[in-house]
Amino acid sequence: MPKLRGEAFWRETLRSAHYVVAPMVDQSELAWRLLSRRHGAQLCYTPMLHAQVFLRDANYRRENLYGEACPEDRPLIVQFCANDPEVFVQAALLAQDYCDAIDLNLGCPQMIAKRGHYGAFLQEEWDLLQRMILLANEKLSVPITCKIRVFPEIDKTVKYAQMLEKAGCQLLTVHGRTKEQKGPLAGVASWEHIQAVRKAVSIPVFANGNIQCLSDVEECIRKTGVHGVMTAEGNLHNPALFEGRNPLVWEMAEEYLEIVQKYPCPLSYVRAHLFKLWHHTLQVYQQLREELAKVKTLEGIVDVNRELKLRCQEEIANQKEGEKPKEGLPFFHWICQPYIRPGPKERCKENGTRGTEKGVRGKRALEEDEDGNSELLSKNKQKKKLRNPNKSFDPSLKPKYAKCDQCGNPKGNKCVFNMCRGCCKKRAFKETADCPGHGLLFKTKYEKSLLWQSSQTGIQNPEISQRDVDFGETAVLKEADDTAS
């Protein structure tokens, strides 16, 4: 049966999906997708998967896609980041039986994408992208889709989208921000760019950006004419966004934790979701925020969630008639609601520093060490200090390691040559020696090979022939290869 394309693919395979949950690294895992689907999401993406890792690592495939089958989790699109046509297609071939389409990530603006040369940092390499999509469209049994960011110029964005369509892309998600618009500099997404792309291509288009509630979804579809709307942060703060509801936070949190019991995922994912759901409440109960950061088990997270619920219920019971939400929130902090990311000037003001005229984000104020030392700790070190109050960041207290005689790296404590493993391996191989400290047994293996050879020929007290030497050298070389691998 030929694979469906364009509008037919969107109507029949994706069931005319209008409400879409975005691919989010470590955040759109199976448990969260199931929660979102229960509350109005019609299509979900997997987290962004690294094509090269997916291709070589069976555990990575099992953890991210090959786990327990779940018929509820369809339609589903698997997203990959890649910069090599062959690697991308080979990874997609391993994934195509578990999804309804394969998406190429051309929208990630983060530094890791820049270092890995993928995501939005491929948007100028049109020849490469054409080859990747052409090959995928030819080899895969499911359609290929793309998620992109826009260029500052609308005309260039339109030509970019048309190029992807011509190469074989069957559905396009357009995030209306440039790759420079991220974090506190994100700003407002341009629906004008999205509308121009929608008018210029014949394939279905999803819009991404500026979606905080259901009315935003409806307005975006009306203004841009897109087939569907994708949301990321709006969904993380309110999984019932597509239902047009703002439920109590603990209702969503308890339902999610219940799903996690059935479909486990790494604890870091669960903790991150609770931080998003309880974001506004954790500004009020800072101690519980710290407990959530330090907890090591799912049961511990459930306990923190229960305590947050009790605190909020107690606050509701003591609430005065006519009392309004604080901190300028549209709802009380225990209700699921959007988090409006502060811009550079607001962030600088929060940190007690002045922004520059260009609006560049100012550095946050550093705090003194709890012990009153003059050493200033970064935000990351402060978090580590909270988890382990006895931790010291004084460089003079760091343990001193004995150095390798050859290269200066730390030497093995039990190395017979006083070297690091790399240098020890080279020397032990060269001298046909043993180093039990590093588990290198070149001499022992060599002697065993000679004994085995002599037992095979039946010679008593044999002299070492050239053939024996060759055999022994082969054994040593094999040991060196095994050690290296």
Q: Which structure tokens are listed for 305? A: 């969630």
Give the pairing type, strands 228-231 and 367-368: unpaired
Q: List the catalytic residue out of 108, 213, 348, 404.
A: 108
- Reply yes or no on whether 108 is catalytic: yes
> Looking at residue 362, what DSSP letter applies?
P
- The dihedrals phi and psi of 146, each to the nearest 5 degrees, come to -140, 145
**End-to-end CA, the chain:** 44
Whether the upstream peptide bond of residue 330 has omega within 30° of 0, thus cis, is no
Secondary structure tally for the chain: helices H, strands E: 21, 13
Distances in Å between the Cα of 45 and the Cα atoms of 4, 26, 52, 324 are 19, 12, 19, 38
Which helix (DSSP H) or strand (DSSP E) does residue 53 occupy?
helix 51-56
Give the 3-state secondary structure of residue 153.
coil
Whole-angstrom CA distances from 53 to 24, 109, 465 are 17, 20, 48
* Alpha-carbon span 30 to 34, nearest angstrom: 6
Q: Three-class SS of residue 269? A: helix
Structure tokens at 353: 């520093």
For residue 277, the tally of other CB atoms under 10 A from its CB is 23
Cis before residue 75, ω within 30 degrees of 0? yes
Contact between residue 167 and residue 129 where contact means Cβ atoms under 8 Å apart? yes
Q: Which residues belong to the active site?
A: 108
